[in-house]
Amino acid sequence: MMGFSFATAGQILFGPGVVRQAARQAKDLGRHALLVTGQNRGRAASLEQDFKMAGVAVTGFQVPGEPDVALVENGAALAREQGCDLVVGIGGGSVMDAAKAIAALAANTRPILDYLEVIGRALPLENRPLPCIAIPTTAGTGSEVTRNAVIRSAEQRVKVSLRSPHMLPRVALVDPELTLDLPPEVTAATGCDALCQLLEAFVSTKANPLTDGLCREGLSRCALALKTAYLQGRNLQARTDMALASLFSGLALANAGLGAVHGIAAPLGGMTTAPHGAACARLLPFVTAANIEALETLPEAGPYLNRYQEAAALLTGNPGAAARDLVRWLDELCADLKIASLSRWGLQPDEVSDLAARSLKSSSMQGNPVPLDSGTLEGIIAQAMARDG
């Protein structure tokens, strides 16, 4: 008999307009919020006004890009200085990660390297983080329901996780209306990240019956909604389906893990300017092909090949689809969404070997359905550098 555990945010509120419940939720958790936003803080002006009317003081903190060590340390210091007892993040995946990390570090004052994985000591947090409310404005990372924050270290040129079961947000507010004005390129990158997370969690060695259901439902919604949202940005039904797919991907990855796409994407994000979702999208067809090819040589790999075949059926709409049909569908998707090559984001040929070596150390590799050696990873990376659109 299989045993498994499942953990997620304390409360999930989903649906058009639920962002208007944020102030009431905040009032139940604290009296002074650090409001973490993207570079354009004006997008959160109405939310800030709602908080003040509810009697919750607000201190603003902006995240101009993907969070790095210095940024989250500064945010935690500001939260302590201002006496914040709550952190609210509204924005994309970078803002979600920054908010969760700041909430953790505001209550835990050892040097950040003591807590970081891979480049640090990965020590557990001594104290519970400040309560955190996560409000995503993109449909991609699912970070509003995960227990880690991805942090970039410029010095080591790598992205690593700050992770704790206590870092799950207290409340996740997922409002599809917040994604209606996303530009097509952001829709494509973030949507492919959700798709990738669903597929990797579905074929993960740590998958379980609960995450399987989430992945099946999420993949089915991605099959039609991703292209529609890309082409028709203000199509609320497509945006709602993608917000659900993203949420389900976060729930799944937090409990089933990921695979080689994210194993490569983590160090790649520290070595280049590639947005996480765009990198995952470009890698996904080639990792999928490599996994299927490796699994076909293993007599005991039938269950994983069946998973890929089922995913192919869900995404192509063809019940008789074979596992390799999935690779063709992913290739066509990347072409339709104009996904750029890794070379476009600055990865150089002489960095391929180093990237492959770094990838093997990534925690995400542990969930990949089959071990991939450095030579295979180098081949995947080389293909992703050469393929444009």
pLDDT of the residue at 118: 87
**Rounded CA gap, 382 and 377, in Å?**
9
What does the alpha-carbon distance between residue 147 and residue 166 come to, in Å, rounded to a whole number?
7
* φ and ψ of 32, to 5 deg: -145, 110
CB of 291 within 8 A of CB of 203? yes
Averaged pLDDT in 10-residue chunks for the chain of 389 residues: 84 97 97 95 91 97 94 98 98 97 97 93 96 97 96 87 96 98 96 98 97 98 97 98 98 97 94 93 98 95 96 97 97 97 96 96 94 97 91
pLDDT (0 to 100) of residue 51: 97
Check residue 42 and give its pLDDT: 84
Domains of the chain from N-terminus onward: 11-178 (3.40.50.1970), 183-386 (1.20.1090.10)
pTM of this prediction?
0.96
Q: Is the four-CA dihedral 379, 380, 385, 389 of positive or negative sign?
A: positive
282-to-159, 215, 276, 290 alpha-carbon distances in Å: 18, 20, 10, 14
Please tell me the number of Cα atoms within 13 Å of 381 on its side-chain side: 30
> Tell me, what's the pLDDT at 156?
86
CB of 51 within 8 A of CB of 35?
yes
What distance in Å separates the CA atoms of residue 192 and residue 282, rounded to the nearest whole number? 9
pLDDT at 1: 45
């955190």: which residue's tokens?
132
